[in-house]
């Protein structure tokens, strides 16, 4: 372990440390400090009050990241885990404590990062279900611990590169787990293998062809299995993602249909040449059934295409959008803009309560889904078009006029400064901001306050129990 010039010890990659955890970071890792200088180590798999043995897998000048190898002295708050699952690190805290931490982190981000005050911090909305709440799971294929038997599960915690086997994913429904098991057993019976994941930095066409091409026998290598569920109808959509190569995808569909019967909506096959660990992109074909998954969200009848974004907790999405409706406080005459409108779920929820509604979305297939949903639900006062918000918002202002209400539901990275400037130029009377990351909401909120709005209230919503993720809705009103 080296010492920094100003004193605090700086661990090296691979060092094993004994650490005492005193708090939780926004990303869900425990926080420990070394030496008098307080060199920070973020520790995956640890909670406040734990004393752990951890291995460093990443280091910077002022902080390092480590993963827990052993809990030496458990926190008084620590409880026994329910699920053997690498993605639910907070399951070792009582659910009530999870809610307290999440609510506190939202408020802390707004006050410390955004330097905001005077807003009402409303009580967090707890999840309706603590387990089996996800409507979409993206599993990875891998070689397991011995590198030989094909497994279908999730990546190991921070710093690990292998895929851990999964017997029963407690975030998925029973039918969703059945679909995964059937697909895995079919793939094992076919003698298929997983593709080889590599580290960062691979370059060149030859390397790409070797990594994303077929196995030696010409058959595709397995990358991912995406299982999506329409919760209202109990229907499943299964998509297998592979490298290039041959695949008897029809036989997979037959095995799934035999096991799931009427609960299977459709089977799709995506061939991807990406070196990134992603299920997006590539060439997707419908193998069997329907290419769109039926779902209901409140009063809306939806059809979700394979790669479209949809909130992964259907029941809590209804509560989340209910808060948007409440904060919007529409009277029926207003002009509403919905930025990053996706497949139109927020816009279509608000449209019957507004005079007119305009949605902007960059992804053209999502815009097509939104238009089709509006037609299916006989909503006629909503208009969707494809465009980059940064460029499209000024055009929309010229075409439709200034909005009375602007709703925005951006990605985790939040709004860029240019988009914030465009919103300020649009000058809506009220802004409803739906955030999945309080650390990016906070600076955006500060920019909007500086631009002439007041942050009135914020309400966190727990969409993802047992994890650190938290959604919230914020209301801004122009001074």
Catalytic residues: 436
Query: Which DSSP string corresponds to 245-282?
Result: SB--HHHHHHHHHHHHGGGEEEEEEEE---SSS-SSSS
Q: Where are the alpha helices (DSSP H) in 274-361?
A: 314-328, 345-350
CA–CA distance, 12 with 14 (Å, rounded to integer): 6
Q: Where are the alpha helices (DSSP H) in 110-226?
A: 174-190, 205-212
CA–CA distance, 379 with 364 (Å, rounded to integer): 20
**Quick check: helix, strand or coil at residue 26?**
coil
CA–CA distance, 23 with 289 (Å, rounded to integer): 49
Q: How many helices (H) and strands (E) does the chain have?
A: 10, 25
CA–CA distance, 236 with 284 (Å, rounded to integer): 17
CA–CA distance, 77 with 322 (Å, rounded to integer): 33
Strand residue runs (E) in 273-381? 283-289, 292-297, 300-305, 335-339, 356-361
The tokens describing 269, both together, are 């096959």
How many C-beta neighbours within 10 Å does residue 150 have?
20
CA–CA distance, 17 with 56 (Å, rounded to integer): 8
CA distances in angstroms from 253 to 41, 82, 271, 406, listed in the order given: 47, 32, 16, 44
CA–CA distance, 252 with 267 (Å, rounded to integer): 8
Of 160, 237, 162, nearest to 194 by C-alpha is 162
């Amino acid at each position: 372990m080296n010492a920094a010039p100003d004193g605090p010890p700086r661990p090296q990659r691979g060092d094993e440390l004994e650490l005492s955890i005193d708090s939780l970071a926004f990303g869900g890792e425990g926080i420990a400090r070394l030496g008098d200088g307080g060199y920070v180590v973020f520790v995956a798999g640890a909670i406040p009050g734990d004393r752990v043995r951890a291995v460093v897998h990443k280091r910077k000048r002022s902080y390092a990241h480590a993963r827990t190898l052993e809990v030496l002295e458990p926190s008084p708050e620590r409880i026994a885990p329910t699920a053997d699952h690498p993605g639910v690190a907070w399951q070792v805290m009582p659910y009530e404590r999870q809610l307290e931490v999440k609510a506190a982190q939202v408020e802390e981000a707004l006050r410390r990062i955004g330097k905001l005050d005077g807003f009402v911090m409303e009580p967090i909305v707890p999840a309706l279900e603590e387990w089996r709440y996800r409507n979409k799971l993206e599993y990875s294929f891998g070689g397991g611990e011995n590198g030989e038997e094909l497994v279908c599960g999730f990546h190991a915690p921070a710093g690990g590169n292998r895929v851990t086997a999964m017997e029963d994913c407690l975030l998925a429904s029973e039918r969703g787990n059945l679909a995964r098991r059937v697909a895995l057993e079919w793939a094992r019976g076919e003698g298929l293998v997983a593709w080889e994941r590599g580290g960062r930095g691979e370059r060149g066409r030859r390397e790409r062809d070797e990594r994303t091409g077929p196995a030696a026998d010409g058959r595709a290598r397995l990358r991912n299995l995406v299982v999506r569920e329409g919760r209202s109808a109990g229907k499943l959509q299964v998509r297998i993602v592979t490298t290039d190569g041959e695949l008897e995808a029809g036989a997979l569909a037959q095995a799934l249909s035999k096991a799931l019967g009427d609960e299977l909506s459709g089977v799709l096959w995506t061939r991807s040449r990406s070196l990134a660990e992603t299920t997006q992109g590539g060439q997707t074909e419908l193998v069997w059934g329907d290419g769109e998954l039926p779902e209901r969200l409140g009063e809306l009848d939806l059809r979700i295409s394979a790669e479209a974004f949809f909130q992964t907790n259907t029941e809590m999405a209804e509560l989340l959008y209910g808060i948007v409706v409440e904060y919007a406080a529409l009277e029926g005459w207003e002009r509403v803009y919905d930025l990053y409108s996706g497949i139109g779920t927020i816009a279509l929820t608000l449209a019957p309560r507004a005079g007119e509604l305009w949605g902007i979305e960059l992804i053209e297939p999502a815009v097509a889904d939104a238009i089709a949903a509006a037609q299916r639900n006989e909503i006629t006062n909503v208009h969707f078009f494809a465009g980059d918000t940064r460029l499209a918002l000024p055009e929309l202002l010229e075409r439709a006029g200034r909005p009375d209400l602007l709703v925005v539901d951006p990605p985790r990275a939040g709004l860029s400064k240019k988009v914030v400037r465009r919103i300020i130029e649009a000058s809506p009377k009220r802004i409803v901001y739906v955030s999945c990351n309080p650390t990016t909401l906070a600076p955006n909120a500060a920019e909007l306050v500086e631009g002439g709005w007041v942050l009135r209230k914020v309400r966190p919503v727990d969409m993802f129990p047992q994890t650190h993720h938290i959604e919230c809705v914020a209301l801004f009103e122009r001074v």
